[in-house]
Structure 1
Amino acid sequence: MDARAEHDSDTRAVSRAVSELARRTRFPIAFGGLAQGGAIHVSSIVGARTRSLDGLVVQETRGLGGRAFAEKRPRLALDYRTSRSITHDYDGQVLSEGIATLFAVPVLVSGRSRGVLYCGSWGQAGVGDVVARPAFAVAEELATELRVGEEVRRRLATMPPPATSDAMAPAMQEELRESFAELRSIASTVTDTAVRERLTKLEQRLAALSRPAGPAAEFDVRLSPRELDVLACAALGATNAEIAAELNLREGTVKSYLQSAMGKLEASTRHAAVAKARRAGILP
């Protein structure tokens, strides 16, 4: 994926998050963006009454959002106009929109700030759990989506080219399988249904990359998400204890999922189950 496509993908993710922020918090206005070159570029706005926020670029440490970004924690201005805890570099844009209360939540990906989501109102409004908790949840979901995207792009970038046009090189196939298992592990932490659906489609694409030529084997098998998680780890040679640690499960639970998957695939061993799953196009 080239830089432009990556940027567009991340921008769409922010747009979805901003729409969700407005819906879940019920604050009348929401906006947000990701950091580029030391500043947060607002790329999505929902509910604005004017165009004063269009093209807003917030420098790190400046304003409410810049401070939230730099400190990696949410910041609130109950009365934005009179707040003494922030710089007022962006009063022209914020106050022209008529915003009185503004809440900024940083988007943290693997411990680093990637962007900021804002929600606000035109009158003073308290920000208790009813607003804060869904705002945190939306920021967390966006962070997960960005993290998954980064990981997938990183792994795809490190994959060696295939040895021939007809067969995938062993090193590339092994990297693909590791990527699939890692993606399954990340996806298991996602609670947002829409994000999980997108991840599932990406997993199916990865699994199809190493599928042998010709039609997939005819197996009427439907593995549960956890059965697939466990089998993907087993395909890399992980022990039950290692799978349990990776997926934050009990070792006995891992064994149960494996046995269930083996039963559905009519396989007597985990290795046979992995082989059948690969022939069916369930695993890469």
Structure 2
Amino acid sequence: MTLQEQLADDRRLVAEAVRALSRRTRFPIAFGGLIENGTARMSAFFGNHTDSLDGLAVRPERGLGGRAMIEMRPRMTGDYRTARQITHDYDGYILGEGIGTLIAAPIVVDGKPRGVLYGGAWGRWNIGGVAAAPAVRVADEVAAELSVRDETRRRLSGLQDADAGPALSPGHREELRESYAELRRIAADIDDADIRARLADVERRLAALSGIAQAPRTEPVPQIRLSPREVDVLARAALGETNAEIGALLGLREGTVKAYLSAAMAKLDASTRHAAVVRARKWGLLP
């Protein structure tokens, strides 16, 4: 994936977050963007009545959003026009849309601001925590997925392209497997169905990389379906972790881990966990 494709993919994530923010809060207007070359460029808008917000790019420290990004906490005002705690660099955009009430929730990844989401309304509102809390949760969800994407891209950048021909080195293959197992663990901790679906797509792409330069299969692949949890524990077992270690990482009882492994082994017709891992890799169920 090129840098431009990554940027477009991340902008789609922001667009989904903007719609989610409007849906989960009482704000009729929502917009947001990620930091590009040091400036948060607004790339997604929802509910606006005019095109006044087009081209809005917020620098850290400037305006309500800039202050939120620098302080890495939400900032809000019930009367934007008279607000004294912020600079008014962007009045032409905000007041041009007629926004009187505004909240800015920063997107913070690994302790650094990556962008900002806004919720707004025409006229004055008493914002309070009722609307602020869900806005912050949406920003946190975006940050969580960006963190996963960053790590996935970092690890994949060290792998050879599928069209390059040579097989992955043992070190790269092991890192691929660790990345896959970690994604499974992260996905297990996320409740949002949309984010889980996107993570599942990344997992499939990682699993597909394990087939680079493999010889074509000469035997049919059995139609085996492992449950998500069976894949979770099998992916961790593939790294040599014990049942206790797997349970601690996935938040499961040791006996529950053993049950999932036994079920996976039965489906794979394997007598040991090692044999189960070998067959799962052979049939493309694990990288």
Corresponding residue of 1:81: 81
Q: What SS does the corresponding residue of 2:99 show, helix, strand or coil? A: coil
The one-letter amino acid of 1:249's match is L
Corresponding residue of 1:123: 123
Q: How does the TM-score come out when normalised to structure 1?
A: 0.91
Counterpart mapping for 1:1-284 below 5 A: 1-159=1-159, 165=165, 167-211=167-211, 212=214, 213-214=216-217, 218-284=221-287
Deviations 1:249-270 (A, max 9, x none): 3433333322232233232211
**Contact 1:216 1:280 survives alignment (8 Å):** no
**Contact 2:222 2:283 survives alignment (8 Å):** yes
CA distance in 2, matches of 1:239, 1:36: 43
The one-letter amino acid of 1:188's match is A
**Contact 1:160 1:171 survives alignment (8 Å):** no
**Contact 1:217 1:279 survives alignment (8 Å):** no
Deviates further, 237-246 or 9-18: 237-246
CA distance in 1, matches of 2:198, 2:278: 26
CA distance in 2, matches of 1:127, 1:264: 54
- CA 1:236–1:217: 2 relative to 1, 3 Å: farther
Deviates further, 243-252 or 50-59: 243-252
Deviations 1:107-142 (A, max 9, x none): 111222111000010022232444223212211221
Deviations 1:130-171 (A, max 9, x none): 422321221122112211111111001122578x83644323
Post-superposition shift, 1:236? 1.2
Q: Percent identity?
A: 56
Post-superposition shift, 1:44? 0.9
Q: How many residues are treated as equivalent by the alignment?
A: 283
Q: How does the TM-score come out when normalised to structure 2?
A: 0.90
- CA 1:104–1:215: 2 relative to 1, 3 Å: farther
CA distance in 2, matches of 1:130, 1:252: 41
**Contact 1:15 1:43 survives alignment (8 Å):** yes
- Give 5+ residue unaligned stretches, structure 2: none
Post-superposition shift, 1:13? 0.9
CA distance in 2, matches of 1:90, 1:68: 14
CA distance in 2, matches of 1:210, 1:41: 37
The one-letter amino acid of 2:231's match is L
Q: What SS does the corresponding residue of 1:102 show, helix, strand or coil? A: strand
The one-letter amino acid of 1:82's match is T
- CA 1:170–1:28: 2 relative to 1, 3 Å: same
CA distance in 2, matches of 1:216, 1:29: 56
Post-superposition shift, 1:217? 5.1
CA distance in 1, matches of 2:117, 2:285: 37
The one-letter amino acid of 1:229's match is D
Post-superposition shift, 1:247? 2.5
Runs of 4 or more consecutive aligned structure 1 residues displaced over 6 Å after TM superposition: none
Q: What SS does the corresponding residue of 1:146 show, helix, strand or coil? A: helix
**Contact 1:217 1:280 survives alignment (8 Å):** no
